[in-house]
Amino acid sequence: MPTHEREITEAVDLCLPNGRLNPEAVGWTRRPLHRANLRGWGRAKRWEYWGIVTPRHIIGLVASSLDYAGVHGVWVLDRETGEEVAKDAVVPLARGAVFPDRSGAGEASVRGGGVAVGVRQRPGGSRLRALAPGVGFGLDAEISLPDGHESLGVVIPWGRRRFQYTLKDVGRPVTGSLRLPSGEHEIGEGAFAVLDHGRGKWPYRMTWNWAAASGPGLALQFGGKWTDGTGMTENAVFVDGRLHKIGEELDWNYDRTDWMRPWTISGSRVEVEFRPFHEKVARTELGIVGTDTHQCFGHFSGRVQADDGTWIDVDGLTGWAEEARQRW
């Protein structure tokens, strides 16, 4: 039961020469094929978010340019002790931020406010390094790209002037080292990484849901709210690295008064429950712009359906589900 959405199989520019959305860019891909040739200033958003889950820690790194500001950060949860280490930075006009126009190519780097994040592409994967000396944080990780591994690229069209290209790459193997005030920690067996690569021009107000999870041979990628009514979704299941695209909007149910209660995500091909074990709250206020994000980490159960109709058990997958509300 393949999706109704158009699959793109050749390289394409996100924008026309006048900076508006290229109609030929609307669709989804199994590997990075879009060049984000954004033009103009003020509404463009560029970011790289990496989430890393290990048996002991959960790590979140963000490097972003909102044109008028760079918002960067590092965050770590010790799953055994519950201790968090975090450092956020806001850099006016996103000074010094460098972002490639293609995912999986070139180098992304940001520095300022006590945070530095850099991603360099190598044959067979990515090297991710981050520092926040003021909180004793350091990360040096190799994120490999296995042969045949697929990722979900999607263009969400709100209109000719407002659109987003997102690439979600879930379940990448990762090795390396994590430095915290508690000491040096090895990243290796049982660890996985998730990339959220974003390029686009957004409306001033937006709310989204995002969930991602991974385990041996299986990964989940679900989104919601921000794609409603566009004819495109960012929903997919990955089985042994192969993408199974889900074209329907999913139904998200959760309690905004108690984020730690179970969530459900459902549709004709998705019957999933998510039980959090930790909530991360992130709020940023910069006058007329701001963000309010509740990102919960936990375990998934239930089942999902592959393209051939087979139902697959997801019990025990670890990951996250979130709601983010933006004024930007």
Quick: pLDDT tens for 235-255: 999 999 999 999 999 999 999
Residue for token digits 């549709």?
267
Domain contains 4: no
* Owning domain of residue 258: 12-327
Is residue 304 very low, low, confident or very high in pLDDT (cuts 50, 70, 90)?
Answer: very high
Domain contains 7: no
Provide the 8-state DSSP code for 106.
S
CA distance 291 to 283: 5
Is 286 a residue whose pLDDT tops 80? no
Amino acid at 94: A
Percentage of residues of the chain with pLDDT beyond 70: 100
The chain-wide mean pLDDT, for the chain, equals 96
CA distance 221 to 26: 19
Is residue 328 very low, low, confident or very high in pLDDT (cuts 50, 70, 90)?
Answer: confident
Is 278 a residue whose pLDDT tops 80? yes
Whole-number pLDDT of residue 315: 98
- CB 113 within 8 Å of CB 89: yes
Domain contains 1: no
Is residue 1 very low, low, confident or very high in pLDDT (cuts 50, 70, 90)?
Answer: low
Q: In angstroms, what CA-CA distances link 81 with 56, 135, 193, 300?
A: 9, 17, 22, 22
Is 23 a residue whose pLDDT tops 90? yes
Whole-number pLDDT of residue 74: 98
Count of domains observed in the chain: 1
Q: Which of 211, 212, 207 is nearest to 225 (CA)?
A: 207
Is 167 a residue whose pLDDT tops 80? yes
Domain contains 262: yes
Whole-number pLDDT of residue 288: 80
In the numeric block, which tokens belong to residue 256? Answer: 């905004």
CA 171 from centroid of its chain's CA atoms: 12
The CATH number for 139's domain is: 2.40.370.10
Whole-number pLDDT of residue 40: 86
Amino acid at 295: Q
Question: 125: which strand partners?
Answer: 122, 144
Whole-number pLDDT of residue 2: 78
Q: Is 2 helix (H, G, I), strand (E, B) or coil?
A: coil
Mean pLDDT of 299-305: 98
Domain contains 3: no
User: Distance between terminal CA atoms of the chain?
Assistant: 38
**Which of 49-63, 182-196, 277-291, 301-315 is predicted with the least confidence, judged by mean pLDDT?**
277-291
Torsion angles phi and psi, residue 261, rounded to 5: -75, 160
Domain contains 2: no
Domain contains 322: yes
Is residue 276 very low, low, confident or very high in pLDDT (cuts 50, 70, 90)?
Answer: very high
Torsion angles phi and psi, residue 133, rounded to 5: -60, -30
- CB 270 within 8 Å of CB 250: yes
Q: What is the pLDDT of residues 40-55, one digit of tens each?
A: 887 899 999 999 999 9
Q: What is the pLDDT of residues 200-220, one digit of tens each?
A: 999 999 999 999 999 999 999
Torsion angles phi and psi, residue 24, rounded to 5: -70, -10
User: Model-level pTM?
Assistant: 0.96
CA distance 169 to 192: 11
Q: What is the pLDDT of residues 100-150, one digit of tens each?
A: 999 999 999 999 999 999 999 988 999 999 999 999 999 999 999 999 999
